[in-house]
Amino acid sequence: MENFFAVARQVAVLFVLIGCGAALRRLKLVGESAVDGMVNLLILVVTPCIIVDVFQRPFDPRMLGSLGVAFVIAAAGHAAVIAASYFAVRHRDDNIRRPLMLAAVFSNAGFMGIPLEQALIGDEGVFYGIVYVAVFNLFMWSWGVWVMRGGDSPFFSVKMLVNPGTVGIAAGLPLFFFSLELPAVAGGPVHHLANLNTPMAMIVIGYYLAGARLGRVAGAGGVYVASFIRLLAYPLAMIAAMYPFRAMLDRNMTLAIVTASAAPAGAMIAMFAAKFKRDIDVSVAAVSGTTVLSMFTMPAVIAVAMEVL
């Protein structure tokens, strides 16, 4: 219970920030164009800055090894839950089923995971959590695009390899390998931009949550299964898979992986639904619904991980 309440306090802080975003929408203090700009800033600027910022640390062979292990675990986890989504997520309307498959697979590892990893584990948690975000991008821009297009496009895409996550890692890894630190005139702005992630990401989530039609969740078959997989089945399976090897694995790495996998459905799913002409209302409602439920599921799941790993 001590672990549960420790995580719950950190999650509650994030939800207070989410409430601020919802209030900004209700009071009409921020418009949709401004929020769209925030999303672009978060994805294209803040995310790479976070990666570069946390990779400025003395080289440690142990952490490099754990980085590789984290990549393998995250990739294997994504592959397994993708396979499960084909069998578990059902709906007669393909425009609803495909976004729900993505909701089961892809967590909000960047916007929700990174702030919580920072609060619970510190910079080392973000260091490993970034690997999960990179794997997320690889699968989202390959399998995710392929599914949303209806399987009529090439599985491999240049965007699979060239995205903010991988670009940030490409820029940050040399700093880690050679124990380099950016000069103050560059490192200072990078650090300040990285610090925007938590408040800005939560405000964006709150803004969209305030406009979501959550009633659509209740009427969309398959959404309960997708939500169960996303919030409970997948992260608990990750804990079970790592448990036998806990003595060999870096504990901060395992907690970062569980935190990222336990996050609600990623906001990118709603963006993909709009881009590929799938059901936007159900997509937004699924993202918003799992975000609300995660206030209760994330503390429980992460507390279990902290106890057994």
pLDDT of residue 240: 95
Helices (H), the chain: 2-26, 32-41, 47-54, 61-88, 94-105, 114-120, 123-139, 145-148, 158-161, 164-177, 184-194, 197-211, 215-219, 223-228, 234-242, 251-261, 268-275, 280-308
Boundaries of domain holding 278: 2-26+69-163+197-308
Does residue 62 form part of some domain? no
pLDDT of residue 234: 96
pLDDT of residue 125: 87
Q: How long is the chain?
A: 309
Does residue 203 form part of some domain? yes
End-to-end CA distance of the chain: 16
Q: Look at residue 306 and tell me whether its pLDDT is greater than 80.
A: yes
* Percentage with pLDDT > 70 across the chain: 93
Does residue 169 form part of some domain? no
Does residue 190 form part of some domain? no
pLDDT of residue 216: 57
Which of 36-40, 118-122, 169-173, 262-266 ranks highest by mean pLDDT?
262-266
pLDDT of residue 60: 84
Average pLDDT over residues 192-214: 82
Does residue 246 form part of some domain? yes
Does residue 55 form part of some domain? no
Does residue 177 form part of some domain? no
Q: Look at residue 217 and tell me whether its pLDDT is greater than 60.
A: no
Does residue 58 form part of some domain? no
pLDDT of residue 202: 81
pLDDT of residue 1: 67
Q: Per the structure, how many domains does the chain have? A: 1
